[in-house]
Structure 1
Amino acid sequence: MNKARIEAFTDAILAILVTIMVLEFHVPKTADWQSLVKENGVYFIAYVIAFADVSVSWYNHHYLLALAERINKAVYWSNMLWMFTLSLIPFAVAFISEHPANSTPAIFYLAVNIAWALSYLNLSQQIARANNSDIAKKIQLMPIYSYLHSSWLAVYPLAFVILFFWPPIVIVMGAIEIIIAAFKSNNPEIDFK
């Protein structure tokens, strides 16, 4: 399978996803700052979080595919699963923005985040299997790969308990994850094309 085709398809899907996210903004009924904040303020925060999440995810995905020399059917389907879980993140964040005091949207967001993490790990492993051992080692050196294998994920069960008392904990946790993933430097041993 041609790697460029899977990269182009993924880029197109993510571009559409971001476009749909921005179309969820509504023009305020009056032309003042108060209406703008009142009608779009909560969604704007959700949009920023979802946009950052998609951006960081895309960067790491691009980095991962830059390492790959061979793409097979397992990589293709793993990539599709990863895109599916990523496409749910903006909806999950918007769901929380509509019902910030309710635990159901928070549980959904947490489940989507876990599904995204597992699908990214699966995609990483499928690319490693489809390629040589040097590429597999480079994938394991990626910051996002080591992060997803770190003890940070032990926070998820704690967040699940806390969200019944304070549902926004999942958004706070998600924002921290985005910051860590965005600013953790890439390994200099990996060539980024």
Structure 2
Amino acid sequence: MSHAQDQQLERLTFFSDAVFAIAITLLVIEIHVPHPEDRSDEAWLQALIELAPHFVGFILSFVVIGALWAAHHRVFGMLRHYDASIVWPNLFLLMAIAFMPFSSALMSAHPTERVPEWFYTGTLLIAGLLQYRLIRRVMKAPFLREDVTDEVVAMLRRRALALPSMAILAGILAIWWPGPSNLPLMLMPLIVRVFARMKRTRSIEAL
């Protein structure tokens, strides 16, 4: 890769990292400090207990965005060629990431209602599909380094299917159990590992 291409790829990577970092930071900004009128210990404890859904939403979204960033970081570390055609697929993914603090705040404020849950899982589904599209776009010649094997490419594609799958599962579970339906998403680091170890199947390769 030429020096100019190397600079362009670095700029794209740095910009992407910044968006991920800002999105993660905005998650905690949505948790507002309580101000109970009664300053007793019991009032403070009650105020913090009422914030529990927001704490859970922060942890959940932090895990999801962290998993998306880890995949993005891993994939872009394997690239050797820059092309302007990857800019917009990457920007669409970043748009979904930047939107996640809002959908996370909506879900956290209404943790037992179906529509906010579906809105949240829908955001995750879109982000996961955009990530999968980006990975499919760049994990091939001429973008990849020559030392990246076909097995690694297939593994990364399988890993990228973890978030869309879990988002769909969480959305279905929300029909009956909004709130607890998000539990599968808390297992994202484990689910990603499971998908990475799955053997290549015709159904996955056909996607």
Give the TM-score normalised by the residue count of structure 1. Answer: 0.79
Q: Is the 2:27–2:104 contact (alpha carbons within 8 Å) kept by the matching residues of 1?
A: no
* Superposed displacement of residue 19, structure 1: 2.2
Matched, 1:146 2:158: yes
* Superposed displacement of residue 36, structure 1: 4.9
Matched, 1:118 2:125: no
Give the TM-score normalised by the residue count of structure 2. Answer: 0.74
Q: How many residues align?
A: 182
Match of 2:65 among 35, 43, 54: 54
Q: 1:76 to 1:179 in 2, by over 3 A?
A: same
* Superposed displacement of residue 133, structure 1: 8.5
Distance in 2, Cα, partners of 1:186 & 1:5: 29
Match of 1:29 among 24, 35, 48: 35
* Structure 1 residues 62-141: aligned runs within 5 Å: 62-129=73-140, 130-132=142-144, 134=146, 135=148, 137=150, 138-141=152-155
Q: Percent identity?
A: 21
Q: 1:54 to 1:171 in 2, by over 3 A?
A: same
| Pair member with larger Rg | 2
Q: Is the 1:74–1:126 contact (alpha carbons within 8 Å) kept by the matching residues of 2?
A: no
Distance in 2, Cα, partners of 1:113 & 1:127: 21
Q: Deviations over 1:115-138 (max 9, x none)?
A: 112111111111124425954723
Q: 1:63 to 1:186 in 2, by over 3 A?
A: farther
Distance in 2, Cα, partners of 1:97 & 1:154: 18
Q: Deviations over 1:28-71 (max 9, x none)?
A: 21564504523532211111111111112111110000011112
Distance in 1, Cα, partners of 2:67 & 2:161: 17
Match of 1:8 among 14, 23, 35: 14
Distance in 1, Cα, partners of 2:126 & 2:12: 21
Distance in 2, Cα, partners of 1:153 & 1:72: 30
- What RMSD in Å do the two structures reach over aligned CA positions? 2.9
Long gaps (5+) in structure 2: 198-207
Q: Is the 1:109–1:170 contact (alpha carbons within 8 Å) kept by the matching residues of 2?
A: no
Q: 1:185 to 1:115 in 2, by over 3 A?
A: closer
Q: Deviations over 1:117-162 (max 9, x none)?
A: 21111111111244259547233232xx213447x93882x54443
Q: 1:136 to 1:78 in 2, by over 3 A?
A: farther
Q: Is the 2:80–2:143 contact (alpha carbons within 8 Å) kept by the matching residues of 1?
A: yes
Matched, 1:176 2:176: no
Matched, 1:43 2:54: yes
